[in-house]
Each structure stands twice: as C-alpha cells, then as structure tokens.
C-alpha cells in the first residue's frame, strides 16, 4: 500500500473519529476508492491507537482528575453509559459485520444527517452557556469534570446511541452528542461526556483487533515506517478535530455536517447506479 494512501487514511480516521461523519463509513468508502484489498486489521489497530492517544492527550488533566475521584458522578455515568453499548455491540455483531459488505454505509450516512439536524433544531432552544477557552494546552475548562450534569436516563440513552453507532456510516460522536442534546444535556457537558465515553469503546475495539493480530490474522503487507506515518497523521488529525468539534457544538453548526453527509450519500448513489468510478 502506497504511503500517500496510508497518510490519507490516517487523516480521515483521525478526523472522522471525532467529527460527526463516521470513521468506519469513510474508511469503507476510501477502501473502495483506493481498491484496498486483503486484511486491514493491523492498520486499523495502529490508527485506533492514534485516536485513543489523541483523546488521552486532549483530556489528560480531566482523566487524571477522574482517576483521583473514582466514585464521582461522571465516572458512574460513564460506566452506566458503557453498559448498553457493550450489550448492543454483542447483539448486533453479526449484523454489523455483514453491513460492511453492502451499501448500508449510505443509509448510515443519511441516518446520521437526520439525527444531527433534529438535534440541532432542539439544541437551539437551550440557553447560551460558557463552553471552554483555549490556552497553553489543548483545552482549559472552567467547570468540574467530576460532576457533569448528566442523569441516569440521559447516560443510558447516550450509551444506547453509541451502541447503535457501530454500524458503518452512523457516527459515534455525532450520535452521542446529538442524543445528549435531544435529552436536554448542556452542550459543553455532552461534548466532554461523548469524548470521554469514546475511551472504553475505542479501547475495547482495539483489544478485539489485537486478538486477531495475535491469532495471525493480520497479514498486511505494510512496512512499520508506513504504519508509523499513518499513526502520526491520525494522531495529529484527531487532536485538531476534537478541538474543531468542540467549537462546532458551541457555535451550533452541526447542520453543516448534515449537509455534507447528504451530499456524500447522493454522490455514492450516483456512483453506484450511474458513474461506476469505484
């Protein structure tokens, strides 16, 4: 695989993991465009490690605070939200695997677009609130990360949305933030909660991929230098897009992503039935 393809995949993975446009859906599209064949498990592992580290780097101080307060409200809600995600992933596993081989990605993109549009309209009713300021590190927050204003019901619904988002084309970050806004969660709290909630699910997916690696199913002809380059670009892209996503949520511009996803879906439909480019 050419290094420029790996660079593009790394950038797109890092960006789409945190922007509400679905990383899995975009990788499926790119694999088709670049005619990537064979096992991509090892590449997926490397790119997911990069995005995982991007979240840790961005939220390092918050994560330390949560570790120091293991029984705080935020930790309890994160655990609670992770439970329905795990259940749904286990139940839907076979359906998700089969969906990667068909045209479900187009449906997934459209579902994400609709959910983002609805959440944006509902979120416009909320009062404006201070979000975050940038200084020194990536983010400096002015609220208590250990006590995010999310209740039992909201955590369960956000976790359920994350579980459904395992299908290609359905954005994890978009779904969790959108459902949180629909449930009345403050935009700053739901954004932080969504990104922190990504840690266990990315880590869990990473562990499953590593199992396949150790089972010898990761026979991908990519050199370690190329993989390192992909890792670097995915990490940098992830850092930048976490910050961008926070700003988009703050400034109520999620509808722009809906427009993009609809246009992308129209293009994919045209390509399938008319153009036949890939």
pLDDT digits (tens, 9 = 90+) for 237-252: 999 999 888 888 777 6
Q: Which of 230, 235, 237, 240 is nearest to 7 (CA)?
A: 230
Q: Using the predicted structure, report yes or no on whether residue 214 has a pLDDT greater than 80.
A: no
What pLDDT, on the 0 to 100 scale, is given for residue 115? 94
Cβ-based neighbours of 278, under 8 Å, separated by 6 or more: 32, 33, 35, 271
| pLDDT interval class at 139 (50, 70, 90) | very low
User: Which has the higher per-residue pLDDT, 273 or 37?
Assistant: 273
Q: Using the predicted structure, report yes or no on whether residue 176 has a pLDDT greater than 90.
A: yes
- DSSP structure string for 198-231: HHHHHHHHHHHHHHHHHTT-------HHHHHHHH
Annotated domain spans of the chain = 3-275
What pLDDT, on the 0 to 100 scale, is given for residue 251? 72
Q: Give me the chain's average pLDDT, please.
A: 86
Question: What's the rounded mean pLDDT across residues 178-203?
Answer: 91
User: Which has the higher per-residue pLDDT, 25 or 48?
Assistant: 25
What pLDDT, on the 0 to 100 scale, is given for residue 234? 96
What pLDDT, on the 0 to 100 scale, is given for residue 2? 87
Q: Using the predicted structure, report yes or no on whether residue 137 has a pLDDT greater than 60.
A: no
Query: CB–CB of 10/41 below 8 Å?
Result: no
**CA separation for the pair 25, 109 (Å, rounded):** 8
pLDDT in tens, 116-131: 999 888 766 654 443 3
User: Which has the higher per-residue pLDDT, 222 or 107?
Assistant: 107
| pLDDT interval class at 142 (50, 70, 90) | low
Q: Using the predicted structure, report yes or no on whether residue 220 has a pLDDT greater than 90.
A: no
| pLDDT interval class at 67 (50, 70, 90) | very high
What pLDDT, on the 0 to 100 scale, is given for residue 125? 63
């Amino acid at each position: 695989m050419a290094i420029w393809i790996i660079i593009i995949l790394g950038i797109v993975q890092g960006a789409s993991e945190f922007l509400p446009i679905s990383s899995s859906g975009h990788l499926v599209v790119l694999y088709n465009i670049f005619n990537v064949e064979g096992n991509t498990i090892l590449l997926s592992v490397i790119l997911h490690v990069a995005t995982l580290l991007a979240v840790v780097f961005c939220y390092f101080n918050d994560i330390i605070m949560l570790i120091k307060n293991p029984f705080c409200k935020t930790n309890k809600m994160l655990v609670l939200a992770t439970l329905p995600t795990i259940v749904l992933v286990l139940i839907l596993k076979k359906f998700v695997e089969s969906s990667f081989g068909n045209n479900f990605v187009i449906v997934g993109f459209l579902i994400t677009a609709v959910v983002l549009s609805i959440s944006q309209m509902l979120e416009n009713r909320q009062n404006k609130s201070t979000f975050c300021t940038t200084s020194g590190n990536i983010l400096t927050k002015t609220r208590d990360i250990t006590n995010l204003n999310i209740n039992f019901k909201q955590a369960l619904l956000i976790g359920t949305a994350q579980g459904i988002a395992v299908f290609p084309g359905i954005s994890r970050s978009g779904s969790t933030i959108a459902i949180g806004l629909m449930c009345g969660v403050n935009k700053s709290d739901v954004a932080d909660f969504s990104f922190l909630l990504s840690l266990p699910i990315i880590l869990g997916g990473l562990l499953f991929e590593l199992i396949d690696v150790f089972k010898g199913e990761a026979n991908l002809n990519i050199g370690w230098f190329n993989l390192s380059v992909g890792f670097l670009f995915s990490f940098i892209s992830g850092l930048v897009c976490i910050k961008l996503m926070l700003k988009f949520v703050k400034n109520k511009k999620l509808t722009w992503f809906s427009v993009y996803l609809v246009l992308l879906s129209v293009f994919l439909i045209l390509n399938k039935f008319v153009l036949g480019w890939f």
